[in-house]
C-alpha cells in the first residue's frame, strides 16, 4: 500500500517533469552546430498591467496631486492601459511648439552627416598643415645648422686669437716701457700712455709712407702698360 502510494507520487513527479520539459521548446540531441531548430524562449516577466482595475486619477478634483495631471503621467497611463485610459492619442506626440523647439535644438546641436564630415576633415587638414609647417621649419633650420656651427666656431677662434693678440701687444708695450724707463711701469700711468701714443704715431707715419709708395707704384705701372700696348 505504501509502495503503491510511493509509485503514484513518483509517477506524478515524472509526469510533471516531462510536462515542464515539453513546455520549453525541444532541442534535438544531435542538432548540427550553428543551426539549432528553435531557440529556447526566455519566459518574460509578467507585465502586471492591472487592466481589470485601472487606477486613472480624476483630472478635475483638487485631491489628485499635480504630478498625476501632467502630460508625462498621461503618456504613462496610455502606455499602461491603452485606450481604456481615456487619453487622447494625439496628445502623445509633441505639439507644434514643442516640435519647433526640438527641430531648432537638433539643427543647432546635431548637424547632418555631411557637415560633420566636413568639419572633421577641415580639422584634420589643419592638423596636418600645422604639422607639416613645423617639420618644414625644423628641416630648414637643421639645414642651416652646419653653416651656423662653422660660423660660431670661427667666431670663437677669432675672438680667442684677438684676445691672444691683445695680450701679446700689451706685453710688448710693457716690455718696451720697461726698456725705455728701466723699471716696471704701471700701464695706467700717464708716462705709459704718452709712450703708447708716440709709438702709435710712428706706426701711422710708417703706414702712410707704405701707402704712398704703393700708390706711386700703381701710378707708375698703368702709364707704362698702355703706352706699351698702344705702341
Residue 48's region, left for phi above 0, alpha for psi from -120 to 50, else beta, is left
Site string for another protein, 102-141 (x = CB under 8 A): xx------x-xx--xx-xx--x------------------
Q: State the number of CA atoms in the 13 A half-sphere of 17 facing the CB.
A: 6
Give 125 or 186: the residue with its C-beta nearer to another protein.
Answer: 125
33 binds another protein, rule: CB under 8 A? yes
Calculate Rg over the CA atoms of the chain.
56
Site string for another protein, 64-103 (x = CB under 8 A): ----------xxxxxxxxxxx----x--xxx-x--x--xx
Give 88 or 217: the residue with its C-beta nearer to another protein.
Answer: 88
Helix axes 113-181, 190-230, angle to 10 degrees: 110
Instruction: Select from 33-41, 139-147, 199-207, 214-222 the region that touches another protein (CB under 8 A).
Output: 33-41
d(CA 172, CA 200): 13
- Cβ count within 10 A of residue 177: 21
Give 46 or 227: the residue with its C-beta nearer to another protein.
Answer: 46
Beta-carbon contacts of 184 under 8 Å, excluding residues fewer than 6 positions away, are 174, 178
Residues forming contacts to another protein in the complex (CB under 8 A) are 3, 6-7, 10, 25, 27, 33-36, 38-40, 42, 44, 47, 49, 51, 74-84, 89, 92-94, 96, 99, 102-103, 110, 112-113, 116-117, 119-120, 123
Amino acid at each position: 500500500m505504501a509502495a503503491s502510494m510511493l509509485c503514484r507520487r513518483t509517477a506524478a513527479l515524472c509526469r510533471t517533469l516531462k510536462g515542464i520539459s515539453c513546455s520549453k521548446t525541444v532541442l534535438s540531441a544531435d542538432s548540427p552546430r550553428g543551426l539549432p531548430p528553435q531557440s529556447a524562449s526566455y519566459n518574460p516577466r509578467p507585465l502586471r498591467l492591472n487592466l481589470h482595475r485601472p487606477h486613472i486619477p480624476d483630472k478635475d478634483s483638487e485631491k489628485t496631486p499635480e504630478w498625476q495631471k501632467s502630460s508625462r503621467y498621461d503618456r504613462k497611463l496610455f502606455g499602461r492601459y491603452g485606450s481604456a485610459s481615456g487619453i487622447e492619442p494625439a496628445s502623445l506626440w509633441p505639439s507644434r511648439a514643442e516640435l519647433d523647439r526640438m527641430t531648432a535644438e537638433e539643427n543647432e546641436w546635431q548637424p547632418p552627416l555631411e557637415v560633420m564630415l566636413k568639419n572633421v576633415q577641415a580639422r584634420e587638414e589643419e592638423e596636418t598643415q600645422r604639422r607639416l609647417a613645423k617639420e618644414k621649419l625644423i628641416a630648414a633650420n637643421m639645414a642651416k645648422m652646419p653653416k651656423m656651427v662653422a660660423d660660431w666656431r670661427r667666431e670663437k677662434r677669432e675672438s680667442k686669437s684677438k684676445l691672444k693678440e691683445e695680450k701679446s701687444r700689451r706685453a710688448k708695450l710693457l716690455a718696451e716701457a720697461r726698456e725705455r724707463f728701466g723699471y716696471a711701469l704701471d700701464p695706467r700711468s700717464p708716462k705709459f700712455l704718452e709712450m703708447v701714443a708716440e709709438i702709435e704715431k710712428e706706426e701711422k707715419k710708417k703706414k702712410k709712407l707704405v701707402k704712398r709708395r704703393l700708390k706711386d707704384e700703381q701710378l707708375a705701372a698703368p702709364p707704362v702698360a698702355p703706352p706699351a700696348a698702344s705702341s
